[in-house]
Amino acid sequence: MEILLDTNVFLRWTTSDPLLKPRTRDLIANDRNRVLVSAVAVWEIVIKRRLKKLIFDGSPIAAITENRFFSIPIEPADAEAAGDLDWDHKDPFDRLMVAQAMRRGITLVTADHEMRNSPAAILWAG
């Protein structure tokens, strides 16, 4: 299975947050699954860290590598699809990640209530 971790799930994983459900933790740890982290999450983490809205030690890119996850870039078609989404949601990070999941036909793993009603295939991690 191929899954895309949204930013909050990636953060919960990297900090061993107990709020991450065991079922979700097992899914991420399963070697048969291909776990993806978007450049969107990296961008969101470093912006929020700089604005002092988030504490994250180290490099998100290093965390992706250390966890043997795969990264996906932001492509122009992702940006266009995010803008065209028929979804009343204003957060550009969320819109872009949903568009990436939809364009690639992968499941988005999220614990963000705002994303639960997105048009992407969602696996609820909250």
Delimit the domains of the chain by residue range: 2-124
Spatial contact of 82 and 89, defined as CB atoms under 8 Å apart:
no
Which CATH entry fits the domain spanning 2-124: 3.40.50.2000, 3.40.50.1010, 3.30.70.270, 3.30.830.10? 3.40.50.1010
pTM of the model: 0.94
What are 94-125's pLDDT values in tens digits? 999 999 999 999 999 999 998 888 999 999 99
Q: What is the dihedral of CA 108, 25, 13, 1, to 10 degrees?
A: -40
